[in-house]
């Protein structure tokens, strides 16, 4: 069985998840679910980046011990993620002892190789970014990403990593392979590599919260250096039995703002530790809220609140249908309601309603294998049986919007099939065979649509399966949608609440802040 190891960025838990961080997790989840559907043995890692200064600051602000604060935030994150049906296999926390051990082991390996050395660090530091800033990064003396925060001037002797030693090897990989995607991010990374690198400081003397440097307990390891290591400690580095099975990772899914860490520093750390590089880093775009930047302290949309009201699937569907994953995009409630009422309620929800209601009314609620073909069957069957091949390349390239466009094309065709075969007229005219054929084929179309849409709307796929009487579909396999006839004759429908009750007004943004 092919293995597929996928990760997301681990989140700073100094605030609850927002719609932007949720977007990343949803995209990675859709890909993980797609690979499971294809039969891969999938390992999907997510988690929280707890050893950061801003987490310690937040805990202090609340008068809490940082670990107790992180425990509470883990609960919040898990709750939000479960409302969005995220199917991660493991949720790592970088305060775990096993993670500390792994981070220290990487530090030791680089030290042993001679690529970690003592040096004098003098720099502006933005705790918001947890990153050093040079004069050219500043706007009016502040970090461009965190204009409301004061920068810290840090001047101390600490430990440095010889990043410069790895530049040429990393440049070769980035230039000659598809290690970094999409192309726009690859070019940015290449630009940075062309400009030249500096060695980086990887410890802090004045901070107490973090992973202690081996044999130097007065220093903690720089948070990014420790955070990146989660991708290997999450699968058992250094001596866990499954490490060799999962590593190298198939894809790290991250946001476009953290490519330098993942595409330059992380590969250098791995090369220095004699470990294989991940196969790919995919950097998605940013979500804006009605055109404005989302921030943990300012403009925000709480995905857990939105999922409580509308369900996780509509949010998942909207984000992945509206915004191309490699690009930036905008969330507005107007657009959400438009797609919800149009594509989810009127098109998919209505297709299911029509099939289930008409089966109850005309067939005693039981699907029968079609006694005789109808002239419209061939076109419907051809469309649906070709759907898996049309969506596959899109799912595998994180082009969820294209995969969904193909699937909704099939939803519309299935609705048209009902319009054209007119089972209600056939019923009135006593042509029972025609009624049975039409509803059976529409149910088959629904089955295939549900399975292929399940990476994006898993709970809906299950509900469709339940209502057409064949049970949950989010764990089905791809082979099942390459053949017609998966709904057994004699299957009884089980009508339940409509999938997507229509929304009659645009929600107030404040309710979800
Ligand atoms: O960067 N739209 O954590 P984080 C889309 N702990 N994605 C967004 C976004 C938005 N508006 N805002 C943030 C960190 N993200 C580090 C990562 S990994 C070893 C350490 C993305 O909580 C962001 O790009 O600030 C990142 O990939 C993820 O959310 C977590 O952001």
pLDDT of residue 32: 99
- Residue-averaged pLDDT of the chain: 96
Q: What's the half-sphere exposure (Cβ side, CA atoms, 13 Å) at 475?
A: 6
Q: Which atom of ligand 1 is nearest to the CA of 24?
A: 7
CA of 14 to the centre of ligand 1 (A): 12
Dig out the tokens for 225 from the structure: 């250096």
Which atom of ligand 1 is the closest one to the Cα of 9? 18
Nearest CA to ligand 1 atom 26: 255
Q: What angle do CA 297, 513, 31 make, to 5 degrees?
A: 90
Q: Do the strands 180-181 and 281-284 form a parallel or antiparallel pair, or are they unpaired?
A: parallel
pLDDT of residue 296: 64
CA terminus-to-terminus distance, the chain: 44
Summarised one tens digit per residue, pLDDT across range 341-373 is 999 999 999 999 999 999 999 999 999 999 899
What is the mean predicted confidence (pLDDT) over 279-307? 90
Residue 63 backbone class (left: φ over 0; alpha: ψ -120 to 50; beta: rest) = left
Mean pLDDT computed over 178-193: 98
Mean pLDDT of 114-135: 93
In the numeric block, which tokens belong to residue 495?
Answer: 């009508």
Per-residue pLDDT, averaged over 50-57, amounts to 96
- Within 6 A (CB) of ligand 1 lie 9-12, 20-21, 23-24, 49, 227-228, 230, 254-255, 257-258, 286-287, 294
Distance, in Å, from the CA atom of 223 to the CA atom of 102, rounded to the nearest integer, reads 14
Task: Name the residue ranges covered by the structural domains of the chain.
Answer: 335-481
Of ligand 1's atoms, which has the minimum distance to the CA of residue 52? 6
- Evaluate if residue 450 carries a pLDDT over 70: yes
Q: What is the pLDDT of residue 297?
A: 62
**What is the spatial distance between Cα 95 and Cα 361, in angstroms, rounded to a whole number?**
59
pLDDT at 87: 98
At 140, list the tokens: 């009016």
- pLDDT of the residue at 144: 86
pLDDT of residue 19: 95
pLDDT of residue 137: 87
How high is the pLDDT of residue 135?
A: 87
**Residue ID of nearest Cα to ligand 1 atom 10:** 20
pLDDT at 298 over 80: no
Pick the CATH number of 335-481 from 3.30.420.40, 3.40.30.10, 3.40.50.2300, 1.10.730.10: 1.10.730.10
Regarding pTM above 0.95, the answer is yes
d(CA 193, CA 180): 13
Report the nearest atom of ligand 1 relative to the CA of 285: 5
- Give the mean pLDDT of 257-278: 98
**Sign of CA pseudo-dihedral 57, 61, 63, 69:** negative
Here the tokens at position 169 are 């090897």
Residue 285 has pLDDT above 80, yes or no: yes
- Express each pLDDT in 463-497 by its tens digit: 999 999 999 999 999 999 999 999 999 999 999 99
- SS3 state at 225: helix
3-state secondary structure of 375: coil
The mean pLDDT of 311-322, rounded to a whole number, is 98
pLDDT for residue 326 is more than 90: yes
Q: Is 162 exposed, middle or buried (0-12, 13-18, 19+ CB in 10 A)?
A: middle
Distance 441 CA to ligand 1 centre (A): 44
């Amino acid at each position: 069985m092919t293995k597929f190891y996928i990760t997301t960025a681990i989140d700073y838990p100094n605030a609850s998840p927002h719609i932007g961080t949720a977007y990343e997790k949803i995209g990675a989840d859709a890909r993980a679910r797609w690979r499971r559907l294809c039969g891969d043995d999938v390992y999907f890692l997510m988690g929280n980046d707890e050893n950061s200064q801003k987490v310690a600051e937040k805990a202090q602000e609340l008068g809490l011990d940082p670990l107790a604060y992180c425990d509470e935030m883990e609960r919040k994150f898990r709750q939000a993620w479960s409302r969005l049906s995220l199917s991660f296999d493991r949720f790592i926390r970088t305060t775990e002892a096993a993670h500390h051990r792994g981070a220290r082991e990487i530090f030791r390996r680089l030290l042993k190789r001679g690529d970690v050395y003592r040096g004098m660090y003098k720099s502006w530091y933005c705790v918001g970014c947890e990153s050093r800033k040079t004069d050219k990064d500043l706007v009016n003396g502040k970090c461009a990403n965190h204009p409301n925060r004061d920068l810290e001037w840090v001047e101390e002797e600490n430990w440095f990593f010889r990043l410069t030693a790895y530049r040429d090897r990393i440049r070769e990989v980035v230039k000659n392979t598809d290690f970094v995607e999409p192309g726009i991010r690859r070019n940015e990374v290449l630009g940075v590599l062309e400009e030249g690198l500096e060695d980086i400081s990887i410890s802090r003397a004045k901070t107490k919260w973090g992973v202690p440097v081996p044999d130097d307990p007065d220093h903690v390891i720089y948070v990014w250096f420790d955070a990146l290591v989660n991708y290997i400690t999450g699968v058992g580095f250094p001596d866990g039995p499954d490490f060799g099975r999962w590593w190298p990772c198939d894809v790290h899914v991250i946001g476009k703002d953290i490519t330098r860490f993942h595409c330059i520093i992380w590969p250098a750390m791995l090369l220095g530790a004699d470990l294989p590089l991940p196969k790919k880093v995919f950097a998605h775009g940013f979500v804006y809220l009605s055109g404005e930047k989302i921030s943990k302290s300012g403009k925000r949309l709480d995905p857990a609140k939105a999922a409580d009201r509308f369900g996780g699937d509509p949010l998942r569907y909207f984000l992945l249908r509206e915004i191309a994953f490699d690009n930036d995009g905008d969330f507005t409630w107007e657009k959400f309601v438009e797609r919800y009422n149009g594509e989810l309620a009127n098109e998919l929800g209505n297709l299911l309603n029509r099939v289930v209601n008409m089966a109850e009314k005309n067939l005693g609620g039981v699907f029968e294998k079609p006694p005789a073909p109808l002239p419209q069957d061939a076109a419907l069957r051809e469309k649906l049986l070709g759907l898996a091949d049309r969506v596959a390349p899109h799912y595998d390239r994180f082009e969820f919007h294209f995969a969904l466009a193909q699937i909704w094309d099939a939803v519309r065709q299935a609705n048209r099939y009902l319009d054209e075969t007119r089972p209600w007229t056939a019923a009135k005219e006593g042509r029972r065979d025609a009624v049975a054929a039409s509803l059976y084929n529409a149910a088959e179309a629904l089955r295939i649509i549900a399975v292929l849409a399940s990476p994006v709307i898993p709970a809906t796929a299950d509900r469709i399966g339940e209502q057409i009487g064949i049970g949950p579909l989010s764990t089905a396999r791809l082979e099942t949608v390459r053949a017609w006839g998966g709904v057994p004759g004699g299957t009884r429908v089980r009508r339940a609440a409509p999938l997507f009750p229509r929304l009659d007004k645009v929600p107030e943004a404040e309710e979800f802040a």
